[in-house]
């Protein structure tokens, strides 16, 4: 195994009814006033907002609201949140929603403590030294943001989708109640499955060395995603499957799976970010298009690991069978596997390839993922 540091101080409150603990947790952290961020008004219609408000009120915690955060969250909304947080002098930020709300909250929490424009933090103009404490109540399991210190936000002016990551951005407490996820649409369920699998395979395939114990953990988690997604497509109310899906999503990107992995990268994410940034494609849907095409291109560089993947996840006998099985499974559950399903044509490819260069640079893999290589990969997804 390569040397590594594992540190993850986020407290996870997992299970039914846990959202009622939010007031208590904020109180334990000495919070008096919070910026409560959310996406659609659905949380009000479905009663979650009331539950949270009551929990805060019971502990005497004041709140101001910032709603309307969208999927593929944007930096303009983050700036709006920073202004509000300062104006109302809140001492914490609370996310009630999925990964897009939570990533916006992380950016707001960091931005409040930075004197310049928050986008500076995304382009690496300066590091993140501090942030307001942040808390989450999760309503969609996909991004793993609830137990890591990273956030991805799109600058809608520059069409860049970039990430930040720094220890102050670990949520202090993340509440994961699978029952709150029961209403997730069929489409977002399958996109989430794709997203979780993407988190699991990036280091698994690209690491210069990936310890066998870690391979086994990753394969266990991918297998669980497949099994629970199929159960949930048949019965969205299956709490056991919903909870195992949610917990797997959390474990997929909390640092566990790539402990001791040699240098690895996020090529699928780098390429997908372009699809989201340019065409506002749902992140998971973009990933299920990119992954099989990337795998076919990358296969020759790590055939033994693709053989493991085929055998331990799908019971296949050749490396190629594993890739085909994953693509077939994406087709079966109904998440896209072709660019054409987004209306993206061959004529769009040069624009995408250009835009991808931003992300492969951000991820430090521009030397491998040249415009020619990215064109090859994307043609495989056409």
* Binding residues vs a copy of itself (CB under 8 A): 1-18, 178, 211-213, 216-217, 219-221, 223-224, 227-228, 240, 243-244, 247-248, 256, 259-260
Instruction: Say how many residues make up the chain.
Output: 382
Nearer to a copy of itself, 111 or 322 (CB): 322
Sheet holding 33-38, edge to edge: 62-66, 33-38, 92-97, 134-138, 173-176
Range 285-294 burial, b when 16+ CB lie within 10 A, else e:
bbbbbbbbbb
Give the nearest distance from C-beta 250 to a copy of itself in angstroms.
9
* Measured distance CA(68)–CA(82) in Å, rounded: 15
* Measured distance CA(249)–CA(214) in Å, rounded: 16
Nearer to a copy of itself, 16 or 130 (CB): 16
Give the nearest distance from C-beta 117 to a copy of itself in angstroms.
31
DSSP 167: G
Give the nearest distance from C-beta 284 to a copy of itself in angstroms.
20
In this structure, what token pair is assigned to residue 276? 């989201």
User: Closest by alpha carbon to 176, among 128, 140, 224, 200?
Assistant: 140
Give the nearest distance from C-beta 230 to a copy of itself in angstroms.
13
Largest distance between two CA atoms of the chain: 61
Nearer to a copy of itself, 69 or 196 (CB): 196
Nearer to a copy of itself, 21 or 349 (CB): 21
Give the nearest distance from C-beta 371 to a copy of itself in angstroms.
37
* Measured distance CA(359)–CA(161) in Å, rounded: 8
Nearer to a copy of itself, 71 or 177 (CB): 177
Nearer to a copy of itself, 85 or 169 (CB): 169
Give the nearest distance from C-beta 214 to a copy of itself in angstroms.
8
Helix, coil or strand: residue 92: strand
């Amino acid at each position: 195994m390569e040397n590594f540091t594992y540190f993850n101080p986020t407290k996870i409150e997992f299970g039914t009814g846990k959202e009622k603990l939010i007031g208590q947790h904020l109180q334990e952290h000495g919070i008096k006033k919070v910026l409560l961020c959310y996406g659609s008004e659905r949380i009000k219609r479905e009663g979650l907002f009331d539950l949270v408000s009551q929990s805060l009120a019971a502990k005497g915690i004041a709140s101001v609201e910032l709603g309307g955060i969208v999927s593929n969250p944007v930096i303009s909304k983050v700036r709006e949140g920073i202004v509000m947080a300062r104006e109302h002098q809140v001492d914490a930020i609370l996310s009630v929603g999925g990964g897009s709300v939570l990533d916006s909250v992380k950016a707001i929490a960091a931005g409040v403590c930075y004197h310049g424009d928050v986008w500076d933090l995304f382009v690496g103009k300066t590091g993140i030294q501090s942030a307001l404490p942040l808390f989450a109540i999760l309503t969609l399991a996909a991004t793993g943001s609830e137990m890591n210190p990273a956030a991805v936000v799109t600058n809608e002016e520059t069409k860049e989708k970039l990430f930040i990551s720094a220890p102050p951005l670990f949520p202090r407490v993340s509440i994961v109640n699978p029952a709150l996820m029961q209403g997730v649409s069929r489409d977002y369920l399958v996109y989430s499955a794709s997203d979780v699998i993407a988190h699991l395979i990036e280091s698994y395939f690209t690491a210069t060395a990936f310890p066998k114990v870690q391979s086994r953990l990753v394969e266990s988690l991918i297998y669980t995603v497949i099994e629970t997604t199929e159960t949930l497509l048949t019965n969205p109310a299956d709490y056991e499957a919903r909870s195992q899906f949610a917990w797997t999503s959390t474990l997929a990107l909390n640092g566990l799976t790539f402990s001791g992995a040699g240098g690895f990268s996020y090529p699928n994410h780098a390429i997908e970010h372009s699809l989201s940034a340019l065409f506002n494609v749902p992140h998971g849907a973009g990933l299920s298009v990119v992954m099989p095409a990337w795998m076919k291109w990358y296969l020759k560089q790590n055939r033994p690991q693709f053989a493991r993947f085929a055998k331990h996840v799908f019971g296949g006998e050749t490396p190629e069978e594993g890739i085909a099985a994953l693509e077939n499974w994406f087709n079966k559950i109904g998440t896209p596997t072709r660019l054409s399903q987004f209306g993206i044509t061959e004529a769009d490819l040069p624009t995408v390839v250009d835009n991808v260069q931003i992300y492969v640079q951000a991820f430090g893999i521009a030397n491998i993922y040249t415009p020619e290589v990215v064109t090859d990969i994307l043609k495989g997804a056409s």
